């Protein structure tokens, strides 16, 4: 699966053909694996040159077809999966005769490669910059047969076959280059790549002055790199390939880093100068995987944080400590909640404590203190963690005992903010967090998509859809929306704001989705609640 969402409706083959045919100069940047290909697209280039030199170098072998065509195609698959822009393969001589070319085209199309560049030399090839004058060119008619075979084999009409002319490389001159270019164009080539190893663009200038065909011309100015790019525009060049600069710059950077570490025997001098591990995770699409895990692998949510809001005082007669430390079946409510979170792979749990905080202890969680607990509510406690709200999270009140599957239901929902609402609630208590939803619970409907309209402690009975359980899930997007909302509220208002008020206001900026449950939880406020918690 492509880790990066496709940003265009056009097929990659169509994108590449459009680059060749447009009036302004186009650029392809070299890449040699999935990471470099992703970086090419992220930088802003419209297409990728899958360089034979760079791919072979990344494998530690020579650019003499020592890497098999199947190994090259395997590398291309990773590059294609990692990107949404077109890839033009440096296909050397086609890895054999016309029959090898036919099979190559089939395999490239299967991997969504947009085109291939074939050069008119003999197999196995030798890099153009190694003893070029001693290299032999393919017979014109034989090479035209390869082009025709490629065009007859392709199933996508926009797949591009680029014919690369090596006449200047081997010292044959302009006339030979032109004769071959016209022959290859007549054989069906979609573009002609004219190659030169001179430090000045004289060969290219002479070719373009004589070229009289609408077939686009592609160049690789590796040797004549000092030529102003506007000169290529003036000449009528279609596409410029920056052919090997990703792999060369990578080598320079790696050698510098390795040498520094070797000499200093420490990392302190290199860490500030290199990409962070988190940047690698970003390129790899770690965020997408974390989001997918919450939907498809609810038992393995390593990117989720757990937040428990447990700062409020106890109102239970005869008990003055934190309600989260009340024992249910011999273990604290806090331990039961952490058990549930860990069951779903949530290993990092932060608890906001306040009332009698010295009595709230656990080596399983981190603590943040709300010393203003007596005059504030859960929203203020949540605001104390605003800086940490940069990842997906499960957030719960600290005095609720609930079935573990409530978390599963939250994580299985695709919404960015999801709250759990119990439909089995009396409509006469002034202390309950009542919910009015866009859709009432219907046991006969399998598919429901209710969202929050309002939450309050006084809603008319005919509008009540249920009671907020005190448990919610947020994705990274949802957490950031909550973070932004908390930071937008004045401190004096924040201190007085209740969770129903906050969630109602939040629902005006981002949908607050609802998961309905029927019982299976207790909000421990009284001795009878504490007794009932043992049955959950």
| Torsion, CA 278, CA 284, CA 285, CA 291, rounded to 10 | -80
Please answer whether residues 270 and 312 qualify as being in contact, where contact means their C-beta atoms are separated by less than 8 angstroms: no
433 is catalytic: no
Please answer whether residues 290 and 392 qualify as being in contact, where contact means their C-beta atoms are separated by less than 8 angstroms: yes
Distance CA 291, CA 411 (A): 10
Q: Is 528 in a helix, a strand, or coil?
A: helix
Pick from 409, 441, 385: nearest CA to 521: 409
Torsion region of 260: left, alpha or beta (phi above 0 gives left; psi -120 to 50 gives alpha): alpha
Q: Which listed residue (63, 92, 112, 203) is catalytic?
A: 63
Please answer whether residues 162 and 193 qualify as being in contact, where contact means their C-beta atoms are separated by less than 8 angstroms: yes
Residue 309 pairs in a beta bridge with 352, 397
Distance CA 85, CA 16 (A): 8
Pick from 323, 385, 388, 393: nearest CA to 354: 323
Please answer whether residues 305 and 294 qualify as being in contact, where contact means their C-beta atoms are separated by less than 8 angstroms: no
Determine the distance from the C-alpha atom of residue 12 to the mean position of all C-alpha atoms in its chain, rounded to a whole number.
19
Please answer whether residues 509 and 461 qualify as being in contact, where contact means their C-beta atoms are separated by less than 8 angstroms: no
| Catalytic positions | 63
């Amino acid at each position: 699966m492509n880790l990066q969402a496709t940003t265009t409706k056009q097929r990659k083959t169509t994108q590449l053909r459009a680059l060749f045919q447009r009036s302004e100069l186009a650029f392809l940047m070299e890449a040699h694996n999935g990471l470099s290909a992703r970086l090419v697209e992220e930088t802003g280039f419209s297409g990728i040159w899958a360089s034979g030199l760079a791919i072979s170098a990344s494998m530690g072998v020579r650019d003499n077809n020592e890497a098999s065509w199947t190994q090259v195609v395997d590398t291309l698959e990773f590059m294609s999966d990692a990107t949404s822009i077109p890839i033009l393969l440096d296909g050397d001589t086609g890895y054999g005769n016309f029959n090898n070319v036919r099979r190559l085209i089939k395999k490239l199309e299967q991997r969504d490669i947009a085109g291939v560049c074939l050069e008119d030399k003999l197999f196995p090839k030798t890099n153009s910059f190694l003893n070029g004058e001693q290299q032999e060119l393919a017979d014109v008619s034989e090479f035209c047969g390869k082009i025709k075979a490629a065009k007859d084999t392709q199933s996508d009409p926009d797949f591009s076959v680029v014919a690369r002319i090596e006449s200047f490389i081997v010292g044959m001159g302009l006339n030979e280059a032109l004769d071959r270019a016209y022959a290859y164009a007549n054989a069906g080539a979609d573009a002609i790549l004219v190659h030169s190893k001179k430090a000045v663009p004289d060969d290219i200038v002479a070719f373009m002055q004589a070229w009289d065909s609408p077939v686009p011309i592609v160049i690789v100015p590796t040797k004549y790199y000092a030529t102003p790019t506007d000169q290529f525009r003036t000449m009528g060049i279609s596409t410029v390939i920056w052919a090997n600069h990703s792999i060369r710059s990578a080598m320079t950077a790696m050698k510098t880093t390795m040498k520094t570490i070797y000499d200093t025997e420490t990392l302190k001098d290199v860490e500030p100068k290199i990409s962070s591990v988190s940047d690698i995770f970003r390129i790899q699409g770690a965020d997408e995987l974390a989001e997918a895990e919450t939907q498809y692998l609810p038992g393995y949510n390593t990117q989720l944080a757990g937040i428990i809001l447990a700062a409020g005082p106890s109102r239970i007669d005869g008990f003055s400590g934190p309600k989260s430390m009340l024992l249910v079946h011999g273990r604290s409510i806090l331990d039961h909640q952490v058990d549930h979170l860990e069951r779903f792979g949530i290993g990092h749990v932060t608890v906001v404590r306040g009332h009698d905080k010295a009595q709230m202890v656990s080596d399983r969680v981190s603590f943040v203190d709300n010393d203003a607990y007596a005059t504030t509510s859960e929203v203020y406690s949540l605001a104390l963690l605003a800086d940490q709200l940069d990842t997906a999270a499960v957030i719960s009140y600290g005095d609720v005992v609930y079935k573990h599957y409530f978390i599963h239901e939250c994580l299985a929902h695709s919404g960015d903010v999801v709250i759990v609402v119990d439909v089995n609630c009396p409509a006469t208590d002034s202390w309950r967090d009542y919910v009015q939803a866009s859709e009432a619970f219907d046991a006969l409907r399998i598919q429901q998509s209710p969202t929050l309209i309002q939450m309050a402690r006084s809603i008319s009975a005919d509008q009540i859809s249920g009671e907020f359980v005190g448990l919610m899930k947020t994705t990274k997007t949802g957490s950031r929306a909550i973070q932004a909302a908390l930071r937008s509220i004045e401190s004096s208002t924040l201190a007085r704001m209740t969770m129903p008020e906050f969630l109602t206001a939040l629902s005006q900026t981002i949908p607050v989705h609802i998961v309905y449950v029927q019982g299976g939880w207790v909000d421990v406020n009284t001795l009878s609640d504490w007794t009932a918690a043992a049955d959950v």
